[in-house]
């Protein structure tokens, strides 16, 4: 039995507050159950130095957690002078995932930075971040199109992310913290609305998983992403 009687293939309650931030070009406060991530997309009219003059844009992501987003307080990363390995891994994942959804040529020589700040953490923060980041990005692009800065939409794919894993031998979707900390396997999937595979990261903590378990959690993730994509479109009013 999962917490609160959730079915193995059920997502937690979802919510999206588009435009939560008054200053960002695009923003979304996304919740996967008790996990809350504020995603803000900032448009900058320049690109990183190594990309200058190539007529292409860039999309990148940053990720952080408030110190008391979690059950126990965590030390701020600025205190140790650098982002942890975990933070860097997640940032790179968010950036890669978003770039796979964007035609960087069509974006033009500008950059969109999507900040994903975890206000509350109850498992699945990186998948909530990616799912919300796509919405913030989409909103920022809508803003650029309204302003006439962009003529065509550079967002060429709809993406969402979800976790799945093996907990006490059962394959389950969208793990919360209590499940995550005892899971045998934890996996994150970034998929497109049309079934394309952008990123798979599956890790067996102690016991290797079987091929069959891997196949089952992948199937759960596909179903979860389908639901997330539907909810994203609704949040965009489509």
Q: Which residues bind a copy of itself (CB under 8 A)?
A: 21-24, 27, 34, 38, 40, 42, 44, 62, 64, 66-71, 73, 76-79, 81-83, 85-86, 88-89, 91-92, 96, 100, 113, 115, 117, 119-120, 157, 187, 191-192, 195-211, 213-214
- In the complex, the smallest distance separating the C-beta of residue 209 from a copy of itself, rounded to whole angstroms, is 5
CA angle 189, 199, 30 (to 5 degrees): 50
State which residue, 42 or 131, has the beta carbon closest to a copy of itself.
42
Rounded CA-CA distance 174/160 in Å is 12
Rounded CA-CA distance 48/229 in Å is 31
State which residue, 10 or 119, has the beta carbon closest to a copy of itself.
119
- In the complex, the smallest distance separating the C-beta of residue 131 from a copy of itself, rounded to whole angstroms, is 16
Burial 9-26 (b: 16+ CB within 10 A, else e): bbbbebebebebbeebbb
Rounded CA-CA distance 190/7 in Å is 22
State which residue, 7 or 138, has the beta carbon closest to a copy of itself.
138
- In the complex, the smallest distance separating the C-beta of residue 188 from a copy of itself, rounded to whole angstroms, is 10
Rounded CA-CA distance 93/116 in Å is 12
State which residue, 14 or 188, has the beta carbon closest to a copy of itself.
188
């Amino acid at each position: 039995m999962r917490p609160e009687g959730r079915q193995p293939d059920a997502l937690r309650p979802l919510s999206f507050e588009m435009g939560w931030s008054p200053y960002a070009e695009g923003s979304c406060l996304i919740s996967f159950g008790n996990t809350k991530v504020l995603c803000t997309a900032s448009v900058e009219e320049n690109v990183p130095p190594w990309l200058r003059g190539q007529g292409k844009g860039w999309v990148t992501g940053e990720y952080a957690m408030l110190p008391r987003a979690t059950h126990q307080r965590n030390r701020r990363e600025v205190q140790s002078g650098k982002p942890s390995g975990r933070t860097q891994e997640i940032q790179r994942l968010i950036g890669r995932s978003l770039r796979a959804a964007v035609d960087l040529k069509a974006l033009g020589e500008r950059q969109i930075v999507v900040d994903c700040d975890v206000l509350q953490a109850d498992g699945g923060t990186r998948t909530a971040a990616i799912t919300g980041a796509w919405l913030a990005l989409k909103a920022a692009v809508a803003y650029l199109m309204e302003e006439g800065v962009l003529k065509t939409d550079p967002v060429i794919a709809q993406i969402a992310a979800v976790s799945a894993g093996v907990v006490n031998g059962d394959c389950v979707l969208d793990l919360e913290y209590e499940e995550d900390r005892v899971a045998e396997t934890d996996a994150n999937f970034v998929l497109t609305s049309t079934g394309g595979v952008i990123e798979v990261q599956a890790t067996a903590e102690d016991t290797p998983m079987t091929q069959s378990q891997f196949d089952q959690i992948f199937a759960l993730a596909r179903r979860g992403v389908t639901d997330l994509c539907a909810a994203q479109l609704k949040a965009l009013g489509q």
